[in-house]
Amino acid sequence: MRVLFACLLLISLTLTHSYAQVKLTSQTIDLTDKTFIIDEEGEISKTGDDLHLFLLFHKNGNATFRPKRGSMITKDSPLSWRLVGDSLYLQQAPISLVADGKTQSITREPMKYAIIKTSRGYLLKEKDSQMLLFEIK
C-alpha cells in the first residue's frame, strides 16, 4: 500500500511540475516601449499633490524611473533592464564620487524581481515585497 501511495505521489508531483513549467514558459512578457504606473490602477489623479511613480521601458535595455508630483516630473532616473526567464533585473546607473580631485565610479547591484503577468498588468516580487505595474496607454 505504501509503495502504491508513493508511486501515485511521484506521478502527481511530476505532472504538477510539468504543468508549472509549461505555464511559466508560455507567459509572454513584453515591456519594450511601454509605460507603467506602480501600484495604482486607473487614471492618474490631477489634484496636483499626489505622488505617482512610473517605469518607462525603452528598447535596448534602457528604462526610466519617473516620480511625478501632479503633472511635474520630480526627477528622471536612468535604469537598465533585462528579462532572464521569469525574472526582471533592474539596475540603476553607477554613482560617481569625486574626492581629492579623483573620480570613482561605483556600480550598483541589480535588483532582481520575479515577474508574473496578471490580467491587469505585471506583479513584481522581491524577497519581502511586491509591486504591481499597470500599463498606461
Q: Render pLDDT for 80-109 as a digit per residue (tens, 0 to 9).
A: 999 999 999 999 988 889 989 999 999 999
Query: What integer pLDDT is reported at residue 28 of this predicted model?
Result: 80
pTM: 0.69
Domains and their CATH numbers in the chain: 29-136 (2.40.128)
Report the C-alpha gap between 31 and 113 in whole angstroms.
14
Report the C-alpha gap between 128 and 44 in whole angstroms.
27
Q: Render pLDDT for 27-86 as a digit per residue (tens, 0 to 9).
A: 688 899 999 999 865 555 556 578 889 999 999 999 999 999 888 899 999 999 999 999
Q: Angle 124-127-133 (CA atoms, 0-180°, nearest 5)?
A: 15
Report the C-alpha gap between 30 and 28 in whole angstroms.
6
